[in-house]
Chains A and B, each alone.
Chain A
Amino acid sequence: MDRAILSGNEAIARGAYEAGVKVASAYPGTPSTEILENVINYKEIDASWAPNEKVALEVAIGASFGGARALACMKHVGVNVAADPLFTLSYTGVRGGLVLVVADDPEMHSSQNEQDSRNYAKFAKIPMLEPADSEECKEFTRLAFELSEEFDTPVMLRSVTRISHGKSIVTLGKRVDNLPAPALVKDAAKLVMLPGNARVRHPKVEERIVNLSLWGGTAAINRSEIRSADLGVICSGVVYQYVREILPEASILKLGMVHPLPHDLIRDFASKVKTLLVIEELDPFIEEQVKAMGLSVTGKALFSLCGELSPGRIRNALEQGGLLAKVTSAPLTVEKLPPRPPNMCPGCPHRGVFYLLNRLNAYVTGDIGCYTLGFLPPLNAMDTCVCMGASISNASGIVRSLPREEQKRVVAVIGDSTFLHTGVNSLMEMAWNQAPATVLILDNRITAMTGRQENPASGFTLNGEVAPEVNIADLCRAIGIKHVVTVDPYDLVATRAVLEAEMQRPEPSVIITDRPCCLMKGECRFEKGKILAVDQNKCTGCKACLRIGCPAIEWQPASDGKKGKAYIDPLLCTGCTVCQQLCKFDAIN
């Protein structure tokens, strides 16, 4: 049989293919994005991006109601957006199997919070599987579709960054080909959730979770590995791998299904070991339930509620708790080094805009995307960032709390993908209630932060086919914004003039910046300009060009006590000219 090294995300895509999935929908979000980007390798699946996660899940629900197997994928915070359909989907159940993949990000490698999605499974009363490597990603995805149909329930598959972006060897299988053909079927009692029908469905939901728990007691994915009788560990997902690494002798109850829990299996396991531990990342999700069963167990007393676990962190916690002999020698340390946070790319069209917002002393309600990096020094031009779409509604709220002079400083900054995700709702509110703030839509024609995915205004679908483009300016006008101006963000003078004028305006207005992301290749999207260099004779060392924080511009101190000078790395410069416009001495050409 064929074997391949796949990431967790690639393996989930493969599992969806093998499970006979017909329709897949998602909104990008690290670490889940590559699932759909790999699903498009399988032509049998109709895969597409949705403008947001709620829509993605609803597309999948529609396909399931049509009788097809359907997949929806998102990052953990995406489930917040999709929570409304999810909770009622729990009541309707499915026709074709439906799996919602959610990728959590413990440690917040690329996220604004580290909420634990397992709570959603419990809250919505649906099963959740958690794979521990890529092979399980594929197998559990297949199994999730079978469970979904057998128990008439959506199934959540939970990954974490270390699983989604980890790679391991997978054995490839065949696609199932014996699924019933999708067709329209009227079944209002099941699919029309009004009080009368929902009251009938709710008891079925409760019954279902009990049955699933019983199923979990005998299912192969919940596996009791009895080794030492001294110590037993209950764990799941990637943590299982860390535990195998650090406690090779311990007995392990490896849970492949983290909700609902298999109570009898847990009791049986507990009876076979002297000390019982639960090792889990983030919330004491399993621990609390095991405690509620009346069992004596240790968990968060030893392990942090915050961040991800790692072999080393588990080892340290066990050593401190006296459960592991101290063997580790003092770790090597290195002195404090200059940090290296992420930065906007050279030529990023967002950079000049943040420079101006800083100069204009704007109070920037921010949003989520590459442009969030505008909060970093030396730009220092973002003051809030909560969740996707919040920039505009936060601005609308904040101006209501302020005197007129302060209101003028408020500028909401949002990217094109984020605007179409949920910002558009917020703009409706702002227009409707005439909140006097300025909205800056940074249209770089792509969803850059997550790795350049198409969006409804970029002109292409997930598969790269040409698609109708949302005209963002027309959309804003249609919503009721009277003042909509488009500017070139590389032109600092013009952009500054428009910003100043619109910030003065005592009513809502929208400025759209129009420049493609500098990482977009081909299709006449981004083009480099003339590569610039600093004329060392003209440079006075005033450091004005350094204020934009471009990675291509480096301060070179002089060795002889004289003033240093700026230097532009020709390999990095894209010729955007923003630094050139800041040089008063005509030294950049």
Chain B
Amino acid sequence: MNDKVTNILLVGVGGQGTLLASEILSETFMLAGFDVKKSEIHGMSQRGGSVVSHVRFGREVASPTVPEGEGDVLFGFELLEAYRYLPLLHAGAKVVVNDYRIPPPSVLLGQEVYPDDLAERIRRRFPDFLLVDGLHLASEAGNPKAANTVLLGAVSKRLEIAEEHWLAALHKMVPAKALEVNIRAFQMGRVL
């Protein structure tokens, strides 16, 4: 094991499930034998605001938040939010984003427009970029609510952690009745 700490950022809109996804990541890394720290904000921003969770793993992790500009992987649940947090990444970072738009208040009111070229803009800066049609794939897996798990599958392929640990974490964290669909969704993400 080398000393390098891997930095992951999960970004989206409050209520989208970033917290659960970051729990599954942390559990996986612990099962794989790493030190793990994570940080997130509950409270006010959970009311539909912009949210970011930090997850870090390695032999030994000090700060629970990712030092600015050192993010290795961005796990985006929503396009605008993914774009907003790009400055937290280093130039060679991997970016996996759900192809999903949630209009913020000013856009709902017709005062501002939701930029329509965000995916291209991200790709221009981060060549290692994957846009995932999470909703569609999750529906194929059996439940549109498993979109986050499809993305998780895609993120998992970009981290050097054995599949067994991911599956063990899913078994532990996902309620029994939703497990089958989520495992399917996860596997669909892994082939992207």
B68, CB-defined interface residue at 8 Å: yes
A298 CA to B105 CA, complexed, in Å: 44
How many of chain B's residues have a CB under 8 angstroms from any CB in A? 50
User: Once the chains are docked, how many angstroms separate the CA of A554 from the CA of B65?
Assistant: 35
A417 to B: closest C-beta gap in Å: 15
For residue B129, CB closer than 8 A to chain A, the reply is no
Q: B81 at the A/B interface (Cβ < 8 Å)?
A: yes
A581 to B83, CA, bound (A): 37
Q: Please, how many angstroms separate the alpha-carbon atoms of A98 and B87 in the complex?
A: 45
B-binding segment of A205-213, A330-338, A435-443: A330-338
**Counting CB contacts under 8 A, is A110 at the interface?**
yes
Give bound CA distance, A168 to B86, whole Å. 25
Q: Which of A22-59 contact B (CB under 8 A)?
A: 30-31, 33-34
Q: CB distance A244 to B30 under 8 Å?
A: no
B69 within 8 A of A: yes
Q: Which residues of B lie under 8 Å from residue A238 when comparing CB positions?
A: 63-64
**A31 is contacted by which of B27, B42, B48, B86 (Cβ under 8 Å)?**
B42
Beta-carbon nearest neighbor of A332 in chain B = B87
Picked from B14, B41, B48, B110, the residue with its CB within 8 Å of the CB of A161 is B41
Cα separation A582 to B14 with both chains bound (whole Å): 28
Contact A165 B41 (CB under 8 A): yes
Known: A332-B87, A339-B106. A311 touches B43 (CB 8 A): no
Interface hit among A145-153, A275-283, A545-553 = A545-553
Cα distance, A17 to B30, chains bound together (Å): 24
CA distance A244 to B3 in the complex (A): 14
Least CB separation from B22: chain A residue: A167
* Min C-beta distance of A108 to chain B, whole Å: 9
Task: Please state if B108 and A543 are interface contacts (CB–CB under 8 Å).
Answer: no
Q: Which residues of B contact A339 (CB under 8 A)?
A: 50, 104, 106
Asked if B181 lies at the interface with its beta carbon under 8 angstroms from chain A, I say: no
Residues 375 to 389 of chain A near chain B (Cβ within 8 Å):
376-378
Given A31-B42, A310-B68, A337:B84 Cβ within 8 A? yes
Is A445 engaged at the interface, CB distance under 8 Å to the other chain?
A: no
Write out the residue numbers on chain B whose beta carbons fall within 8 Å of the beta carbon of A471.
none
For the complex, what is the distance from the CA of A30 to the CA of B13, rounded to whole Å? 19
- Whether a CB of chain A sits under 8 angstroms from the CB of B39 is yes
A332 adjacent to B104 (CB under 8 Å): no
Give B48-74 as 1s and 0s: 1 = Cβ < 8 Å from A's Cβ atoms.
111000000000011111111100000
Q: B36 an interface residue at 8 Å Cβ cutoff?
A: yes
Q: Kindly provide the distance from the CB of A170 to the nearest chain B CB, expressed in whole angstroms.
A: 11
Contact of B80 among A109, A328, A340 (CB under 8 A): A340
| CB-based contact A543/B110 at 8 Å | yes
- Say whether A241 contacts B62, CB under 8 Å: yes
Whether B175 sits at the interface, judged by CB under 8 Å, is: no
- Most A CB within 10 A of own CB, among B61, B62, B69: B62
CB-defined A-B contacts under 8 Å, sample of 17: A31-B42, A33-B42, A109-B45, A162-B64, A168-B36, A242-B63, A310-B63, A332-B69, A337-B115, A340-B48, A342-B44, A342-B48, A451-B43, A543-B110, A551-B105, A551-B108, A553-B108
Q: Which residues of B contact A (CB under 8 A)?
A: 13-14, 26-27, 30, 35-50, 61-69, 80-81, 83-84, 86-87, 89, 91, 103-110, 112, 114-115, 125
